[in-house]
A and B are shown apart, each in its own frame.
Chain A
Amino acid sequence: MKAKISGSILVASLALLAGCTGLQIDERGKSYKFNDTGRKLVAAKDALSAMMQAESTLGREAAANVIARYGLSDNEKLQKYVRLVGATVARKAKRKDVTWRFAVLDEKAPNAFSAPGGYIFVTEGLVKLLNDEAQLAGVLGHEVGHVDEKHAMNELRLAGTADAATQLLGDKAALKGAARGLIKLMDRGYGRGHELDADKFGTLLLSRVGYDTTGLARALAKLAEKGGEAAKKFESRHPPYEARLEALGKVNVDEKGVSLASRFRQHSGS
Chain B
Amino acid sequence: MLCLAALASASGLGDFVKGVMKVTSGTSSPKRTGGSAAVRGLGEEEEGAGSASDAVEDKREFGQLDRLDKKIPTTEEVEKFAKEGGLEG
A interface, CB within 8 angstroms of B:
19-20, 22, 37, 40-41, 44-45, 47-48, 51, 60-61, 63-65, 67-69, 72, 79-80, 83-85, 87-88, 91-92, 97, 99-101, 103, 133, 155-165, 167-168, 171-185, 208-211, 258, 260, 263
Query: Given A69-B56, A160-B16, 18 other A-B contacts at CB below 8 A?
Result: A45-B13, A84-B78, A87-B78, A88-B89, A100-B72, A101-B72, A163-B38, A171-B35, A174-B35, A177-B35, A177-B39, A178-B35, A178-B43, A181-B40, A181-B44, A183-B43, A185-B42, A258-B85
Which residue of A87, A97, A161 contacts B12 across the interface (Cβ within 8 Å)? Answer: A97
Closest to B15 in A: A160
Chain B residues within 8 Å of A80, by CB:
71
Is the C-beta of B17 less than 8 angstroms from some C-beta in chain A? yes
Q: Report the bound CA distance from A260 to B85 in whole Å.
A: 7
B residues in contact with A185, CB < 8 Å: 41-42
What number of B residues sit within 8 Å (CB to CB) of A?
56
Q: Choose among B1, B20, B41 the residue that contacts A162 (Cβ–Cβ < 8 A).
A: B20
Instruction: Collect the chain A residues with CB atoms within 8 Å of residue B12's CB.
Output: 48, 97
Q: How far is the CB of B11 from chain A (nearest CB, A)?
A: 8
Supposing A184-B42, A184-B43, A210-B87 touch, asked if A163 and B61 sit within 8 A by C-beta, the answer is no
Q: Is the CB of B60 within 8 A of A161?
A: no
Cβ of B28 to closest chain A Cβ, rounded Å: 11
Rounded to whole Å, the gap between the CB of A267 and the closest CB of chain B is 11
Whether A44 and B59, one on each chain, are in contact in the complex, defined by CB atoms closer than 8 angstroms, is no
Given contacts A44-B16, A162-B16, contact A180 B87 (CB under 8 A): no
Contact between B35 and A167, CB atoms less than 8 A apart: yes
Instruction: Kindly report which residue of chain B lies nearest to residue A211, judged by CB atoms.
Output: B87
Within 8 A of A (CB), among B43-88: 43-44, 54, 56-62, 64-65, 68-69, 71-73, 77-78, 81-82, 84-88
| A88 with B87: CB separation less than 8 A | yes
Contacts of A159 in B (CB 8 A): 15, 19
With beta carbons under 8 angstroms apart, the residue of B40, B73, B84 that contacts A87 is B73
* 21 A-B residue pairs with CB within 8 Å: A20-B6, A69-B59, A80-B71, A84-B77, A84-B78, A88-B89, A91-B78, A158-B41, A161-B38, A164-B36, A164-B39, A168-B35, A173-B35, A174-B39, A177-B43, A178-B40, A180-B43, A181-B42, A181-B43, A210-B86, A260-B85
Cβ contacts under 8 Å, B1 to chain A: 37
User: CA A155 – CA B43 in complex, angstroms?
Assistant: 12
In the complex, how many angstroms separate the beta carbon of B75 from the nearest chain A beta carbon?
9
**B23 touching A163, Cβ below 8 Å:** yes
Q: What is the bound-complex CA distance between A60 and B66, given in angstroms? A: 10
Please give me the residue from chain A that is nearest to B19 by CB atom: A160
> Cβ of B15 and Cβ of A164 under 8 Å apart?
no
A87 surroundings in chain B (CB, below 8 A):
72-73, 77-78, 81
Given A161-B24, A178-B35, A210-B86, check contact A88 B78 (CB 8 Å). Answer: yes
